[in-house]
Structure 1
Amino acid sequence: MEQSGKKVFILLIVCSCSLIFLSILLSNYWNVGLVQYKYWIEKNMELLRNKTEYLSNKQTQVGNIVLKNSNDKLGNSQVGAERKDTTENSKNNHYFPVNINISLARDEVKHIQENSEAKYIVYLCPGMCGGWGDRMTGITSTFMWSLVTKRKFVIQHHHPCALTKVYVSNHVNWSINLPKGLTQTQRYLIDNEQFSPKEIGTPNTHIEKRYSNDVIIFRNNIDWIKAFKNALYKDRLIELGFNPSNLSMDYIFPKLHNLLFKPQQELQKKLEDFLHSTKNKSLVCAQIRIGKNPTIPNDPTRNKPEFLPIIWDFLAQYNNSIKYKIFVTTDSENIRQSAKRLFPTTIADTEGVITHTDRSNQNQACQGMQKVALDFNILSHCDVLIISRSNFGEYAARLRNSAKELYGFTNGNIVKGFPRGEKNEYFNRTTKQFSKKQ
């Protein structure tokens, strides 16, 4: 009788385990949604084979993310743990990346602002200035000029609305009013590729001697940073704590952005709420710029709709709501809705209308700029990041301040690194691995 009871008990355990296993498989099936069924089978078998390794605190490669069990039973990604530690221990709690040394530059900015004799330089955006990425380019380049010449920096950004709707001053008081009665010069340099090499990079006379007005006003959307490698500015760059031999937008942007900005209170709250919703999970992000589409009809074509399946296949590797959150920011409402349908339990979205800061939906442009700024800063916290060939995605990747798990979406391919950079390894939709293209 006792032996029969044991057999019944064992049978119940086996049945219970079978039901649990079946529930997991069914749950994963529905989460995958429209993603290829063959891929789902392979993925679940892989997870089952590696289960013991997760529980024994060994690193396991899944796709391109290294997972490591660190005393928690979920096996959260190592990079995810690093991201959460970074944001939660930020000194100013503004949820910008840390581990960026700006102490010398911050001290220099303080000295400039305390100097009552200092002249001014202004970044001006009263109308068409390009999209968000173009504006970050113009602001950063103009600010660099101010640091090199010890001028006070001012931002006058009025289109489609005040920049203070999303950003406020951090270490630089850039929202001040200019004194009256000062001499000034203004240059319109939108899309002017010749200005920085001609005026900064090659002359043997310092720019402060050639631009001596009390106020210099620039409308600009071009990267000037490398031009400051001119030997004339080497000593000043060292004073600022910058490496003259490594001077590029990739290197300088996170430093200057952190000197200038912190999120406006409402934006910071939204950013904190979003990051809290992804706590203890890895954040996997894709910035998909399609170009001309019903949402933004006036934009040039950037990618074709038939290119999108490779993005969905890549993201499907992370379609597990226990371990990951997937965030997709895009210029197309159709793509936004497709992401929600494909990854219903894993997707994390931000509210707001999709706009291009310069090109469309101008009656909603200010509201749209708030979503743009929020999405931009979210991308800087992604553990895995795919970006399209656009300044918006590339500047977010720079602010992220890491090349780890960074991928580019270009011409129907996903490549390692920036989409404009050297393309050595491509994502294979069949093997789900990166390899050199044959």
Structure 2
Amino acid sequence: MRPQPLPSPWPPPYVNTYIQAHASTVRDLAKGSEPANSKVLVYVCTAMSYCGGHGDRLNGMISAFVLALLSDRAFFIDSQRPVPLSMVLQPRPAGLDWRMFGSHAALSAGFNLNDNLAAFEGDPQTVLESQERVIRLTSNQRLTAVALQAAEQRAASRGLSLQPELHSHLFQMLFEPSPALLARLNARNLPVGRRIGIHFRAGDQMPQNWKDPPRHPLSQLDEFLDCAESLEKEHGWEATFILFADTDKVLTIPRVQELMSSGKLAWPSESDGLVHLDRSPATLTVRGLLQTWSDWWTLAFDVDALVLCHSGFGATALEIGHRRPAVIGRGCVPADGSTG
């Protein structure tokens, strides 16, 4: 087996230069001046469009940032559905101020790649080499691997290739919790000590909140719990299981009830906060938005190991959070959290 190349240092010089140039662009725009670099890419999710669930949106936003880095464009996010993204995430003080509002009214139409990865795979240069000053991009797809391959030399020279944690690095550049999300996280009172996060998606067990195809029957949760116990034993931990699911019907399962009674398992969610960002009615989605982001943030940053189902929600938490043991609940096989 050939040795794998070592990851490049982060951040590479190009990214530091990009951050400085982006700050200059934001200052010029605020003053009404023409920026030195007038090329812009805006990730767009309007109040009238469908943008995918939690994981799809994150993939779309971060992939759009990769496209901006590869095409020398200032990057902004105009995400208004169901509420402005800045209500849950805000720019980091030393990062990029990505906030933009109303681009659908002020800027021309752009590229819509929702559920259409094949269109980008067929001709990535249409976006990467576009001569339009402003690109508005709507996407719920993972475009990064295709983009890095399509602009291979550019990606290498800018330090974006050989970065197995690229999406994690870029997320850290862009986002930190808003005050509202931070308050929700601080109020969560997670158990101290080792924690194993379990994400279980049934899919079709909350018909009163949204309609979704079936993913895992409730009977399969036993396999996820068995897997969590195996992880705990393998690492010699005394851990608490933190269960996240898209249905409160998991709470009726006797084994879950027993584990909760003994303090072995915690369920931080509230039933009325179980929503799908795209499929639930707007009134429910707004009510459950902070819980959805709190659940994801906990999986990404506040547990020591992960037991996951096949879902973008858990996959992005694995990829963007810190490196730790992670497995797929069905079969208890290792999960790969590298960007690719």
TM-score of the aligned structures, taking structure 2 as reference length: 0.79
| Counterparts of 2:281 and 2:257, CA distance in 1 | 23
| Counterparts of 1:233 and 1:251, CA distance in 2 | 17
1:194: how far off?
Answer: 1.7
2:199 aligns with one of 281, 287, 293: 287
Cα distance per residue 1:99-140 (max 9 Å; x no partner): x93364244222233141322111111231110000001101
Aligned letter for 1:188?
N
After superposition, residues 151-162 of structure 1 pair within 5 angstroms as 151-162=73-84
| Counterparts of 2:246 and 2:105, CA distance in 1 | 44
Q: Does 1:302 align with 2:215?
A: yes
The answer to whether the Cα contact below 8 Å between 1:384 and 1:406 also exists between their aligned partners in 2 is yes
The answer to whether the Cα contact below 8 Å between 1:140 and 1:257 also exists between their aligned partners in 2 is yes
Q: 1:190 is paired with a residue of what secondary structure? A: coil
Large movers: runs of 4+ above 4 Å: 177-183, 316-319
1:311: how far off?
Answer: 2.1
Find the counterpart in structure 1 of residue 240 from structure 2: 325
Find the counterpart in structure 1 of residue 6 from structure 2: none
The answer to whether the Cα contact below 8 Å between 1:287 and 1:328 also exists between their aligned partners in 2 is yes
Structure with more relative contact order (C-alpha pairs < 8 Å, separation 6 or more): 2
Cα distance per residue 1:235-293 (max 9 Å; x no partner): 35433x32x2x36xx5321011111100001212333454x6444x1011100011111
Q: Which has more radius of gyration?
A: 1
After superposition, residues 11-160 of structure 1 pair within 5 angstroms as 101-102=10-11, 104=13, 105-115=15-25, 116-118=35-37, 119-126=39-46, 127-160=49-82
The answer to whether the Cα contact below 8 Å between 1:407 and 1:416 also exists between their aligned partners in 2 is yes
Cα distance per residue 1:124-169 (max 9 Å; x no partner): 1123111000000110111111111221211111111111121011
Q: 1:228 is paired with a residue of what secondary structure? A: helix
Q: 2:211 is paired with a residue of what secondary structure? A: coil
1:314: how far off?
Answer: 3.4
Aligned length: 303
| Counterparts of 2:135 and 2:205, CA distance in 1 | 39
The answer to whether the Cα contact below 8 Å between 2:78 and 2:101 also exists between their aligned partners in 1 is no
| Counterparts of 2:228 and 2:205, CA distance in 1 | 22
Q: 2:59 is paired with a residue of what secondary structure? A: helix
1:385: how far off?
Answer: 0.5
| Counterparts of 1:178 and 1:291, CA distance in 2 | 33
| Counterparts of 1:222 and 1:234, CA distance in 2 | 23
Find the counterpart in structure 1 of residue 332 from structure 2: 414
CA RMSD of aligned residues (A): 2.9
After superposition, residues 259-408 of structure 1 pair within 5 angstroms as 259-274=173-188, 277-279=190-192, 281-294=193-206, 296-316=209-229, 323-336=238-251, 338=253, 339-344=256-261, 345-352=263-270, 353-381=273-301, 382-402=303-323, 404-408=324-328
Q: 1:216 is paired with a residue of what secondary structure? A: strand
1:364: how far off?
Answer: 1.5
| Counterparts of 2:156 and 2:322, CA distance in 1 | 20
1:207: how far off?
Answer: 2.5
TM-score of the aligned structures, taking structure 1 as reference length: 0.62
1:231: how far off?
Answer: 6.3
| Counterparts of 2:260 and 2:122, CA distance in 1 | 50
In structure 2, runs of 5+ residues without a counterpart are 1-8, 26-34
Percent identity between matched residues is: 20
